[in-house]
Amino acid sequence: MQDLELNDEQIMIRDMAREFARHEIAPHAQAWEKAAWIDDAVVRQMGELGLLGMVVPDSHGGSYTDYVAYALAVEEISAADGATGALMSIHNSVGCGPLLAHGNTQQQQAWLARLASGEVIGCFCLTEPQAGSEAHNLRTRAEQVGDQWVLNGAKQFVSNARRAGLAIVFAVTDPALGKKGLSAFLVPTDTPGFCVERSEHKMGIRASDTCAVSLTDCRIPAANLLGERGKGLAIALSNLEGGRIGIAAQALGIARAAFEAALGYARERVQFGKPINEHQSIANLLADMQVQVNAARLLILHAARLRSAGRPCLSEASQAKLFASEMAERVCSMAIQVHGGYGYLEDYPVERYYRDARITQIYEGSSEIQRLLIARELKHYAL
Q: Of residues 76, 260, 364, 368, which has the active-site annotation?
A: 364
The confidence score (pLDDT) of residue 158 equals 97
Q: Could you tell me which of 140, 134, 136, 51 has the C-alpha nearest to residue 88?
A: 51
Contact of 335 with 343, CB cutoff 8 Å: yes
The confidence score (pLDDT) of residue 97 equals 96
The confidence score (pLDDT) of residue 132 equals 80
The confidence score (pLDDT) of residue 240 equals 85
Does this model's pTM top 0.85? Answer: yes
What are the pLDDT digits (tens) for 167-192?
A: 999 999 999 999 899 999 999 999 99
The confidence score (pLDDT) of residue 282 equals 98
Q: In angstroms, how far is the first alpha carbon of the chain from the final one?
A: 31
Q: Could you tell me which of 165, 132, 86, 173 has the C-alpha nearest to residue 359?
A: 86
> Over pLDDT 90: what percentage of the chain?
95
Contact of 277 with 264, CB cutoff 8 Å: no
Rounded to 5 degrees, what are φ and ψ at 129?
A: -55, -35
What are the pLDDT digits (tens) for 242-271?
A: 999 999 999 999 999 999 999 999 999 999
Contacts of 383 (CB under 8 A, 6+ apart): none
DSSP state of 94: I
The confidence score (pLDDT) of residue 1 equals 55
Q: Where are the beta strands (DSSP E) in the chain?
A: 122-125, 141-145, 148-159, 166-172, 182-188, 194-199, 210-221, 225-226, 270-271, 274-275
The confidence score (pLDDT) of residue 10 equals 98
Active site residue 364: yes
> Which of the residues in the chain have pLDDT under 50?
none
The C-alpha atoms of residue 23 and residue 72 are separated, in whole angstroms, by 17
Alpha carbon 305 to chain centroid, angstroms: 18
Where does 131-279 have alpha helices with state H?
Answer: 232-238, 240-268
Rounded to 5 degrees, what are φ and ψ at 291?
A: -60, -45
